[in-house]
Structure 1
Amino acid sequence: MLDLGRTFLQSVERSPRQVAIVDGGLRLSYLEWAGRIGAVQRGLADAGLARGDHLLVVLQNRWEMATLHWACQFAGIVMTPLNWRAKPEEIDYCLADAEAKAIVWEPVEDAAVAASSAASRALRIGVGEVHGATLHFEDWMTAPDEPVPHAEASDWSLMLYTSGTTGRPKGVPRRQRAERIAALAHVAQNRYAVGECTLGVMPLYHTMGVRSLLSLALIDGRIVCIPRFDAARALAAIRDEQVTHLYLVPTLYHDLLSHPDFAATDVRSVRKLGFAGAPMHDALLQRLQAAFEPELFVNHYGSSEIYTFSINQRAAENPGCAGRAGLNTRLRVVKLDQRDPERLAAPMEEGQIIAELRSDEAFEGYHKRPDADAKSLHRGWYFTGDTGYVDPEGDLFVTGRVDDMIISGGENISPVDIESVLSLHPAVDEVAVAGLHDERWGQKVVAFVKASRPVDAQALDAHCRDSDLVNFKRPRDYVFLREIPKSPVGKVLRRKLQSGEYEPALPELPSIPPA
């Protein structure tokens, strides 16, 4: 099987003059980019990094980040990216956990790196005007070089860190063969054609960003870097670069549609939409379908551990449906209280979603975390921590996280169905639902709403009553916020809602009495 370095060389050999990457005024063909990748590979080797070493990289979605990623694939160095907003203690932890030989960073992360004690002991490679760098990325650019594959498909490609919202971040190491197969499946499942163009918006410390990077190289395509998401800049790039497909989290789609420039921007070049990372509520699905009229609208459900769980290629036609298992995957839904992969939930019964670890896209266990392996890996299956059910036709519906399950009056309540109903109210811009402590019920259902125009709790409760939402799932309180707290990749942070870490938009309105 081809390793990733040789995979990149395929595109260089097939389409040497095709534009491969755009970053502001920089435009590089595959041949030109290969010369820079080779120069970085040479620089890393001269700095003492060898096959199997970890390189910690804290950069935004810029061409240097993408170039380092590919140089590591050629060299067999384990790309280990971090959120460019990482705090000093996160840098300390990940440098030690990965035993990384070096760290690469840019000015936006200067203060955090300076305050990291572990970074002071590592080889320090700076991009741009940073302080305290041992080496400078720009010095490697004085002469291009031919990249040479030194890795095999069985070598480690990268190690992604999970967000760590419930504890220490977990390293998810992945081999080159799993990365390549995941990218091939992504091309097939999203029906990408040769020479397509996409926005490099999803961060390269996230599995979605990495998949876009690798997939575009497989089809001799073009990736347009957006270092830090800005809706106006993204819309301009769609227009100017004739972007053909988008692969984003729902939050970024929301921001694109909500920007004042959207109505005046020609987005007709975009023929395919894909989303992942979080559920997309019904109202946003409808708005996107109307705005883009795409040929293909894909709901991709997966994770860092196993890239693809399921695919629904008709997302707008069946809101909330995650479809069926991907090309390289087997899925099951087991009873919520089970660790036995054979104890299946009945059709329409909510349970935990699990995926077989024999998947060609799967990881092989967490990095130095036997506790995490013991929690999530059972008898050859990965227990995702997601809840869902399979309908009588065999389609999967994801309802939330096991940890997000609201238990109110003895009933198990998932937030997603409630959020989808509320999203259809014309005054609701965004909504998130969480369970808050209640003396009588154990937990009560609370809806946190970002409104697009004036609305009160009574109006939203009436909307829920008029829907098919069962009575016990109706929110008992509504809290109106300026913004819904989210992670850097757009996931709702329910723990912040539960702990009161948000800015109210209005004084709290009275509770809605149960019927």
Structure 2
Amino acid sequence: MFDLGTSFKASVLRDPNTVAIVDGDTRLTYQQWYRKVSSIVASLDGFGLVNGDHILVVMQNRWEYASLHWACQFRGIIVTPLNWRAKTDEIDYAVTDAHAKAIFYEDATAEAVLSSVEAGKIPNICTNKLHEIMQASAPDAEPHADANDWSLMLYTSGTTSKPKGVPRRHRAERAGALAHVAQNLYRNGEITLGVMPLYHTMGVRSLLASSLTGGTFVCLPRFDAGKAIDLIEQENITNLYLVPTLYHDVVHHPEFTPERVKSVTKLGYAGASMTDGLLKKLNETFAPDLFVNHYGSSEIYTFTIDQKAALKPGSAGRSGINQMIQVAKLGANSPTDLADTREEGEIIASLKGDEAFEGYWNRPEADLKALKDGWYFTGDTGFVDEDGDLFVTGRVDDMIITGGENVSPVEVESFLSLHPNVDEVAVVGLPDERWGQLVTAFVKKNGEITSEQLDQYCRGSNLANFRRPRQFIFVKNIPKSPVGKVLRRMLVAGDYTPE
């Protein structure tokens, strides 16, 4: 299999005059971009970097960052990106944990980087320096890595413990990108909105897939729904691959109209479950040719794919082309202890797939918990229906146990999202002396609605009585991570603003 440097060079040879990347006024063809990337490759030795070294990147989705990513693939250097909002202590941790040999940053992240004690011990390179480097001429870069070398190390979110590094090889990264192209039916010349952050697996996959198809990657450094709509219209974006939260913000923006996004023919989402209400709205307003629900993780890019997401709301589909998935019984320690049809359990994925990681970075205790007999225990809960389709119901840690019954927050959220006066909703279990946990819905309103009316809405439905929220709390916003995942732990901790 190609390493990623060779893969990029092949793209340049195929489509030298096609626009490869757009960022504001910057528009570069593949040949022009290759020259910029080659200049960075030539400079990396000057920073004392060699094959197998880690660099930290604390930048937004800029063309400079994308160029650096490709340069590292040529040079055999491991890109280790952090959330551009990372605090000083998070940078200190990552520098030490990854044994980083340099850190790249921009103006928006300079304060945190320059305040980091550990970052101060290694070369700090800002975007201004990258611009200088890319102005210099250099010979066309040749790959210094092979398919078995490390390409990338993403950090998990670390909501309950220190973030875990997920190192991935060139071959796994390219396999994930090829699967992404195939499973989303991308054609040559796709134009992608590059807004999912490049510290997230979805952002990296969009970047790599764009190259494989001779496509154009249109940078949006940080998400803004109005700017996203403008770029879709101006650049004739053909596909979107976003988390549900970003879709929600786009279709609810006052300047959104179906006419402005008519160039988009393919929708894909991942990173979190999508409520039935949002799924329905997107299908009606975009009327896409293809609507894909992609379920996966940083560790293994693809678990399952559903290419007809709107036809079976809630379904995550079936195993991707590089994967096999099963559902083990809750608490199982063996991949042979499987749940029955429609029995909720823990989703597990084969580690034999081309996209799979091989274990966490220096975290043997995490490997022991998650990797068992050739299977990755995801920590996600779900079940398989009679058709063989997977339904993801949440996280093992998010499961609500009320009066001895298991309640999945996702099912209740999807139901409540269909109410016309509910904008967003998150369901958690709050401590209760009698029930153990009380099913509680935090609601951001989209009109006038009361707790009593929502309770009657639930009582008049097919929602099982034990799943019915016993408490409704109206809030100004639902807390989310930078990539749009609902932070239920903050709601449980009382960290929210009541309406």
- Is the TM-score greater than 0.5? yes
- Which residue is equivalent to 1:91? 91
AA partner of residue 236 (structure 2): Q
Which structure 2 residues correspond to residues 249-268 of structure 1 after superposition, within 5 A?
A: 249-263=243-257, 265-268=259-262
- Which residue is equivalent to 2:496? 502
Which structure 2 residues correspond to residues 422-433 of structure 1 after superposition, within 5 A?
A: 422-433=416-427
Which structure 2 residues correspond to residues 188-227 of structure 1 after superposition, within 5 A?
A: 188-227=182-221
2:165 to 171, 176, 180: 171
Contact 2:43 2:133 in 1 (8 A): yes
AA partner of residue 420 (structure 1): S
Measure, in 2, the Cα distance between the counterparts of 1:231 and 1:475.
32
- Partner secondary structure for residue 180 of structure 2: helix
Measure, in 2, the Cα distance between the counterparts of 1:138 and 1:392.
56
Deviations 1:330-356 (A, max 9, x none): 100010010110011000000000001
Corresponding residue pairs, total:
498
- Partner secondary structure for residue 332 of structure 2: coil
Deviations 1:311-342 (A, max 9, x none): 00000000000000000001000100101100
Measure, in 2, the Cα distance between the counterparts of 1:183 and 1:32.
23
Distance change in 2, residues 1:144/1:423 (3 Å): farther
Measure, in 2, the Cα distance between the counterparts of 1:43 and 1:476.
61
- Which residue is equivalent to 1:107? 107
Measure, in 2, the Cα distance between the counterparts of 1:312 and 1:33.
34
Measure, in 1, the Cα distance between the counterparts of 2:371 and 2:228.
39
Q: Any gaps of 5 or more consecutive residues in structure 2?
A: none
- Asked if 1:31 is matched to 2:31, the reply is yes
- Asked if 1:315 is matched to 2:305, the reply is no
2:389 to 395, 404, 427: 395
Contact 2:258 2:286 in 1 (8 A): no
- Asked if 1:478 is matched to 2:472, the reply is yes
Sequence identity percentage: 61
Deviations 1:279-338 (A, max 9, x none): 000000000001010000000000000000000000000000000000000100010010
RMSD: 0.8
Shift in Å at residue 456 of structure 1? Answer: 0.6
AA partner of residue 62 (structure 1): R
AA partner of residue 165 (structure 1): T
AA partner of residue 79 (structure 2): M
- Which residue is equivalent to 1:49? 49
Shift in Å at residue 126 of structure 1? Answer: 1.0
Shift in Å at residue 265 of structure 1? Answer: 5.0
1:142 to 135, 138, 160: 135
- Which residue is equivalent to 2:231? 237
- Which residue is equivalent to 2:410? 416
Measure, in 2, the Cα distance between the counterparts of 1:106 and 1:335.
46
Normalised TM-score (structure 2): 0.99
- Which residue is equivalent to 2:400? 406
- Partner secondary structure for residue 259 of structure 1: coil
Measure, in 2, the Cα distance between the counterparts of 1:467 and 1:264.
32
After TM superposition, the structure 1 stretch with the greater mean CA deviation from structure 2, 255-264 or 319-328, is 255-264
- Partner secondary structure for residue 262 of structure 1: coil
Contact 2:36 2:135 in 1 (8 A): no
Deviations 1:212-232 (A, max 9, x none): 000010000001000010111
- Which residue is equivalent to 1:4? 4
- Asked if 1:152 is matched to 2:157, the reply is no
Contact 1:39 1:141 in 2 (8 A): yes
Deviations 1:33-53 (A, max 9, x none): 000101111111221111100
- Which residue is equivalent to 1:355? 349
- Partner secondary structure for residue 182 of structure 1: helix
Measure, in 1, the Cα distance between the counterparts of 2:418 and 2:15.
46
Measure, in 1, the Cα distance between the counterparts of 2:304 and 2:289.
20
Measure, in 2, the Cα distance between the counterparts of 1:257 and 1:264.
9
- Which residue is equivalent to 2:291? 297
- Which residue is equivalent to 2:359? 365
Measure, in 2, the Cα distance between the counterparts of 1:219 and 1:6.
15
Measure, in 1, the Cα distance between the counterparts of 2:428 and 2:320.
30
Measure, in 1, the Cα distance between the counterparts of 2:257 and 2:233.
12
Q: Any gaps of 5 or more consecutive residues in structure 1?
A: 129-135, 506-515
Measure, in 2, the Cα distance between the counterparts of 1:85 and 1:459.
40
Measure, in 1, the Cα distance between the counterparts of 2:206 and 2:131.
25
- Which residue is equivalent to 2:279? 285
Normalised TM-score (structure 1): 0.96
Measure, in 2, the Cα distance between the counterparts of 1:341 and 1:264.
46
Measure, in 2, the Cα distance between the counterparts of 1:369 and 1:341.
22
- Partner secondary structure for residue 91 of structure 2: helix
Deviations 1:76-97 (A, max 9, x none): 0000000000000000000000
Measure, in 1, the Cα distance between the counterparts of 2:137 and 2:185.
34
Deviations 1:95-121 (A, max 9, x none): 000000000111111221122110111
Contact 2:280 2:310 in 1 (8 A): yes
Measure, in 1, the Cα distance between the counterparts of 2:292 and 2:98.
34
Measure, in 2, the Cα distance between the counterparts of 1:487 and 1:264.
28
1:161 to 155, 166, 171: 155
- Partner secondary structure for residue 283 of structure 1: helix
Shift in Å at residue 264 of structure 1? Answer: 7.2
AA partner of residue 205 (structure 1): Y
Shift in Å at residue 142 of structure 1? Answer: 2.1
AA partner of residue 425 (structure 1): H
Contact 2:258 2:285 in 1 (8 A): no
Contact 2:4 2:170 in 1 (8 A): yes
Contact 1:309 1:329 in 2 (8 A): yes
- Asked if 1:16 is matched to 2:16, the reply is yes
- Which residue is equivalent to 2:120? 120
- Which residue is equivalent to 2:336? 342
- Partner secondary structure for residue 260 of structure 2: coil
After TM superposition, the structure 1 stretch with the greater mean CA deviation from structure 2, 38-47 or 217-226, is 38-47
AA partner of residue 140 (structure 1): I
